Structure formats: C-alpha cells, structure tokens
Amino acid sequence: MNTILFDLDGTLTDPALGITNAVSYALKHYGIDEDYQNLLRFIGPPLVDSFMEYYGFNQEKAQEAIVYYREYFSDKGLYENEVYDGMENLLAALKDKGYILAVATSKPEEFAKKILDHFHLSHYFTEICGATMDSSRSKKGDVIAYALNQLKISNPNTAIMVGDRQHDIVGAHQNQLKAIGVLYGYGDEAEMKEYQADYIAKDLKELMDILSAL
C-alpha cells in the first residue's frame, strides 16, 4: 500500500460554517428556514442527493438549489473553513515516508482545488479529484474510480481511502479499496461499523498508527 486517498470535508478540513451558510442561503429561496443541526447533514454526501432526500426536491429542483448554494459558496463559503489541528503535520509526515497522497471528494473539483490552495495544502497531493459542476460525476464511488484512473492505479491493494462518512466507505468498497473511517469529522463509530469500515481512527494519531502498520 503506497497511495492514500483523502476525503476533503470532515477529513482534511472542517467546512461546517461555509456549507451550512450556503445551504441556508439556498433554502431561503424556497421559503425554508432550517435548524443548524439539520444543515450539518449536508456535509459529506453529494448536494443533489441531500436536497432530494431531506426536502423532497425532484432532480430539476435540486439542481436549481445547487445553483443558489454556489452563489454563496463560491464567493464566501469556500473560505469559511478550517484545517483540522495537526493535519498539515500528518500530511508532511506521510509524504516524508514516501506515500503518494490524493484527494477524492464529492465537492466540485474546482472548489476543492481553491480550498486546498487557500490553505497551502495542494502541494502535498499528486491529484485533487472531485465532482463535476453538472453533477455527472458526484457519487463518491465514481470520484474514487476517477482518482484511481488519474493515478494510474490498477491494483486496489496498493491504495486506501480515508474519510469520515458512510459514502467514503461505500465508495471505497465499490472500487475494491479498503477504507479507514475517522471519527473526528461528521460520522460516528456506529456509522463506520454499520458500513463496515476496515479500520476506525478516533484521531490523527490513531490514523497515523493505522497507516504506518499497513
């Protein structure tokens, strides 16, 4: 195993403020005032799925809501975000050990690159792979497949996925990758066990211990 794919939201950075503000902005166009705790459900899954699941939007209305979401997010929400404490040290240590690092996120690739550039983290990653703006590639399994293709990885035993939600685990397994579920983001231990994460790390120290042992 020499390649590590990282989710972005809830794994590398805490995006809660920017995402919840952008979702709230979009929902207000439909006369919906939402509680903050409910807005946190949007961190991780593809936006189109969340608008459809939680508010009963059809595909067309969900895509329209995403346009409103991006009005706010592309201007302000991108930067209402913070890197988890110790994350840069972890990435630097992994690079020093010779690992190839990449990002696989359901966030549009254009936004992911801007965020990682803003926090001066882009140079740690060989590839930064995300969703397309038109949602033709948005499911985590599809993004991971795209990342593996970009990295020219044909043997799934040489890579592993790190993420904080069920979509990261499911998407990894769809691509025959093992997955590490982290508990410092927006998923919990019950979710990781239900979706059969291969490893669970409660913090960055445990994450480094697991990776070092593989």
Please check whether residues 53 and 125 belong to one and the same domain: no
What is the Cα–Cα distance from 64 to 26, expressed in whole angstroms? 9
pLDDT at 205: 98
Please check whether residues 130 and 206 belong to one and the same domain: yes
Closest among 82, 62, 88, 71 to 21, alpha carbons compared: 71
Give pLDDT tens digits for 57-84.
Answer: 999 999 999 999 999 999 999 999 999 9
Of the residues 7, 9, 142, 164, which is catalytic?
Answer: 7
State which of 79, 97, 115 marks the end of a domain: 79
Residue 168 annotated to the active site: no
Per-residue pLDDT band at 28 (split at 50, 70, 90): very high
pLDDT at 135: 86
Please check whether residues 177 and 96 belong to one and the same domain: yes
Domain containing 138 equals: 3-14+83-213
Q: Which two tokens stand for residue 161?
A: 């996925």
Give pLDDT tens digits for 109-134.
Answer: 999 999 999 999 999 999 999 999 99
pLDDT at 139 over 90: yes
Report how many domains make up the chain.
Answer: 2
Residue 23's CATH number: 1.10.150.240
162, 180 contact by CB (below 8 A): yes
Please check whether residues 155 and 209 belong to one and the same domain: yes
**Percent of the chain predicted with pLDDT > 70:** 100
Please check whether residues 58 and 104 belong to one and the same domain: no
pLDDT at 44: 86
Per-residue pLDDT band at 17 (split at 50, 70, 90): very high
- HSE-up (13 A, CA, CB side) for residue 208: 15
What is the Cα–Cα distance from 205 to 202, expressed in whole angstroms? 8
Residue 164's CATH number: 3.40.50.1000
Cα–Cα distances in angstroms (integers) from residue 110 to residues 131, 132, 133, 141, 214, in the given order: 9, 8, 8, 19, 32
Please check whether residues 67 and 121 belong to one and the same domain: no
pLDDT at 155: 97
Cα–Cα distances in angstroms (integers) from residue 64 to residues 20, 54, 97, in the given order: 17, 15, 45
102, 4 contact by CB (below 8 A): yes
Per-residue pLDDT band at 101 (split at 50, 70, 90): very high
Q: DSSP 3-state assignment of 186?
A: coil
What is the Cα–Cα distance from 155 to 213, expressed in whole angstroms? 19
